[in-house]
Amino acid sequence: MKSHLELSDNEFMKQFAQCELEPKLFTHEAHLRLAWTHLHRYGLETALKNIQLQLQKYVKHLGAEDKYNTTLTIAAVKAVYHFMLRSDTINFKDFIAENPRLLTNFKELISAHYSTDIYNHSEAKLAFLEPDLLPFD
């Protein structure tokens, strides 16, 4: 398999939750899809809880706990949510085609909210840091 997009949303979510998704398929786009599918099905609060727990389990399964970042995870979900509020798309492929900045300018989008480098900030990895420049929706 070359892309997570070859999986249905149900299969993608199931494989990820069960730590069966091939690591090479879990790209930045797949992270965004994970947020989109959970937001679409469960709403913001449940999506935030689910994604944090599942990502922590997935990185632990891979032995890559140092890759997990609480602030970045929550910020990414909130960024996807922001664009979802302005979209009428009903599938991820159309959503991402409508909002390519999430793929191509993600770091720029996040830097509009934070003056610090949350990607490498030790506190940001452990706990959610509220944006200091621009709040999320």
Domain boundaries, the chain: 4-126
- From the CB of residue 19, how many other CB atoms can be counted at a distance below 10 Å? 14
State which residues of the chain have pLDDT below 50: none
Q: Full-prediction pTM beyond 0.75?
A: yes
Residue 61 has a pLDDT of 98
Pairwise CA distance, residues 85 & 87, whole Å: 6
The per-residue pLDDT for range 97-119, each reduced to its tens digit, is 999 999 999 999 999 999 999 99
Residue 137 has a pLDDT of 79
What do you get for the CA distance between the two ends of the chain, in Å? 36
Residue 39 has a pLDDT of 98
- Give residue 95's identity as a one-letter amino acid code: F
